[in-house]
């Protein structure tokens, strides 16, 4: 597969070529077609917008090349640096994203659910995301009220909440699934 060409515009990467955009989207539901809120498959004629986590993953997998606005190739290291400037806990978010993607899951933004990621087994439009993932540092204190809020929200949208705790010292991620039940 040839690499798609993306452009770093602020804190997003945009694939302008519609054919390359469709191909990237169809390989794993990467990005969002601009101007299309819920695409029905990869049959769209629009540029593809990728967040920095997705873009870095695709660069490391050899599916994407990123260029700056002056046409200079942006390396994976440079893209990660931009990510660290733009996104709090970028390295932990990327680590969890990569682990989930490499395990075969489709990982999308969980912003509309108040979480870091919504995780699908097959993909949007095919199934509903059964999991919401919140990424935290292993030694980070979790506010009990925030945990209840996240748990109630995930329960109300029929999803299981997963806390992905990343140990910055060892690099190990511990996944803890919470499920709300009636007593």
Which residues are tagged catalytic? 120, 128, 159
Cα(70)–Cα(67) distance, rounded to whole angstroms? 8
Tell me the torsion sign for CA atoms 120, 81, 137, 152: negative
Give Cα separations from 131 to 42, 90, 119 (angstroms). Answer: 23, 20, 5
Maximum CA pair distance of the chain?
60
Q: Are 137 and 168 in contact (CB under 8 A)?
A: yes
Instruction: Look up residue 52 and give its two tokens.
Output: 């920095």
């Amino acid at each position: 597969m040839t690499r798609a060409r993306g452009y770093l515009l602020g804190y997003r990467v945009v694939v302008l070529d519609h054919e390359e955009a469709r191909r990237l989207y169809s390989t794993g539901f990467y990005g969002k077609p601009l101007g299309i809120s819920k695409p029905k498959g990869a049959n769209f004629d629009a540029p593809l917008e990728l967040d920095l986590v997705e873009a870095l993953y695709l660069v490391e997998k050899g599916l994407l090349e990123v260029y700056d606005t002056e046409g200079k190739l942006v390396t994976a290291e440079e893209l990660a640096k931009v990510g660290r400037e733009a996104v709090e806990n970028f390295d932990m978010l990327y680590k969890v994203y990569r682990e989930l993607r490499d395990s075969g899951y489709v990982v999308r933004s969980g912003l509309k659910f108040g979480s870091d990621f919504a995780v699908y087994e097959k993909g949007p439009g095919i199934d509903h995301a059964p999991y919401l993932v919140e990424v935290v540092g292993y030694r980070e204190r979790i506010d009990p009220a925030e945990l209840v809020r996240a748990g109630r929200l995930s329960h109300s949208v029929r999803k299981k909440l997963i806390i992905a705790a990343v140990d910055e010292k060892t690099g190990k991620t511990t996944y803890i699934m919470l499920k709300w039940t009636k007593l």
